[in-house]
């Protein structure tokens, strides 16, 4: 029996980002650690990162569902290249959202281990995108992706949105 598309999204969110942003940080958290002495400022900054990360993540997931006709997981990839919303400014806003969530958690919980997890997450994803995802996108979307890749940075957004030639 074929799973409804919305259930595939929920499944993939639980398998990937939920594991990275909830389960692993829970296992890494050590309440005896201390990143900062002034916890109030760190917690406020952490809440800003958390809210921004959650918003960016879910906006990206929505765009994959509504316009890409796929999910965030490599086993159910998008059928169309998504160049809307935050994807006009950087190529991986979904991963940036997850990274913001991890940074927010590290600040709210005052956790060095979660901060280290955020760094490891960033490095692993950078390697994965260079070695696996970008070549796959080049193969699936050809010149459309090549133009996108040339004009939109991988991680750090540019201020001018990319508007592909129609």
In a domain, 5, yes or no: no
Task: Please give the residue range of the domain that contains residue 125.
Answer: 38-151
pTM to 2 decimal places:
0.89
Whether the per-residue pLDDT at 43 is higher than 70: the answer is yes
Better pLDDT: 146 or 10: 146
Supply the pLDDT for residue 1. Answer: 44
* Span 87-114, pLDDT tens digits: 999 999 999 999 999 999 999 999 999 9
**Long-range Cβ pairs for the range 72-76 (8 Å, 24+):** 72/9, 72/12, 72/13, 72/16, 72/17, 73/12, 73/15, 73/16, 74/132, 74/133, 74/136, 76/8, 76/12
In a domain, 142, yes or no: yes
Number of compact structural domains in the chain? 1
In a domain, 29, yes or no: no
SS (HEC) of 30-83? CCCCCCCCCHHHHHHHHHHHHHHHHHHHHHHHHHHHHHHCCCCCCCCCCCCCCC
In a domain, 8, yes or no: no
């Amino acid at each position: 029996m074929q799973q409804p598309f919305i259930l595939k999204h929920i499944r993939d969110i639980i398998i990937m980002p939920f594991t990275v942003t909830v389960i692993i940080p829970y296992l890494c958290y050590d309440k005896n650690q201390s990143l900062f002495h002034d916890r109030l400022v760190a917690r406020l900054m952490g809440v800003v990162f958390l809210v921004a990360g959650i918003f960016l993540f879910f906006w990206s997931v929505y765009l994959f569902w509504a316009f890409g006709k796929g999910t965030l997981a490599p086993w159910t990839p998008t059928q169309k290249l998504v160049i809307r919303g935050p994807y006009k400014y950087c190529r991986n806003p979904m991963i940036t959202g997850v990274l913001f969530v991890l940074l927010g958690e590290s600040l709210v919980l005052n956790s060095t281990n979660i901060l280290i997890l955020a760094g490891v997450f960033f490095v692993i994803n950078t390697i994965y995108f260079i070695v696996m995802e970008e070549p796959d996108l080049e193969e699936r979307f050809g010149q459309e992706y090549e133009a996108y890749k040339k004009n939109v940075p991988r991680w750090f957004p540019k201020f001018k949105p990319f508007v592909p030639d129609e």
